[in-house]
A and B are shown apart, each in its own frame.
Chain A
Amino acid sequence: MNSSNPSFTPTSLMNPKLVNLPPSGIRKLFDIAATMEDVISLGIGEPDFVTPWHIRNSGIHALEKGRTQYTSNAGLAQLRCEIAKYMKRRFNLTYHEANGVLVTVGGSEAIDLCMRAFICPGDEVIVPLPSFVCYGPLAELCGAKPVYIEMKAEDHFKLTPEALRQAITPKTKLLVLPFPNNPTGSVMTREELMEIAKVLEGTNVMVISDEIYAELNYGPERHVSIAEIPGMFERTIIVSGFSKAYAMTGWRLGYACASPEIIGYLTKLHQYAIMCAPTMSQFAAVEAMANGDDDIAMMRKEYNYRRRFIVDGLNRIGLTCFEPLGAFYCFPSIQKTGMTSDEFCSKLLLEQKVAVVPGTAFGACGEGFIRISYAYSIDHIKQALSAMEKFVKEHAQ
């Protein structure tokens, strides 16, 4: 049935906030790369490992047993219990095993839920940049004003208490803490988080701590969550997931941990929007949490070898890079080539067939930097480094 109104254009009815969101900055580059053959990519932000077999097998077992129904809205009780045990075991955090955990469709859903659960139109959400691309757009869709803090290379891309203090206003509702950080690989230490906690003391700001890369930490200290800092537990929601720690990206499974009151509201929203996370993924995740600590250790060790290898290589060819202590990214400076990030990445792709992501995809302050993923084999990284070395030499000023 056609509308009787000839000027009816569905897209004109779209939410202007959505229409006006900037498109992803790297789509163009990826599209070009997709048409080329033998591209050496260092662009992908997901593990190159396949989910460990015992975890996959648990997913298969769930299917064989016919576990094809919904779970409860908050997720399998057994899984929530395992997550609570895991948080205690790995990060010394105590969450209520029945009511302090919500199982979500990836960490991404948990981030979206937090935004929608807290934001009223006109609120401000503080987002440190460079960081993963979703926080600002999701906040904007809820009617919030994202307030961006530009983290600096000289601070190793950490959030400083001064910068945070300046960004907080009476309208600030949420602070996103994206550490270990995608795209820079920077981490925040316990001491640095204590400084951040001091600034938040006495404010009405909630913290969304995106700790999806918590297990990929290569420093002398284990990962510390801001929720562990005295006074911060009640005002922190930890968002994490199975994707990066267990190489389970495609299972789409994450979780949020907070006080039972907050989890109650997040669950309410989750129940209307999603119902529940995929059941077989949840069964696989029970196995991951219960018996996967060794897998994490093995993958972390492997990433660490590659991390040292690529950081050494980049510094050697003149793309200077501070030592990233988290995730599986490094964020070298390309400023000495005189090119912009976009220019560097498209030329590198066209001339040497190496695909990396411009730093600007993660915020304007990423200009002059590129994101390199080392979720690749050493041989692959070697090949990419020698192509990049050639490129840098040819464009030496």
Chain B
Amino acid sequence: MELGYLAAGLGAGIVSLGAGLGIGMIGKAAMEGTARQPEAANDIRTSMLISAAFIEGVALFGQVICIVLALA
């Protein structure tokens, strides 16, 4: 068995773990913010999506490396 596949699988899992935690925390903060100040819901949603996109970007860098590992 090639260890590259194992590395890619484990890496993908860990990356998803980090990204999930990060996006979960953003979602939590955004919901709390919206609950406290419902009139700011639109602004909060926009900034939430932007921060989620940044976290996702980092996670996807990791995933691309995992794909490269699996293919190499």
- Whether both chains belong to one complex is answered with no
Interface residues of A (CB under 8 A from B): none
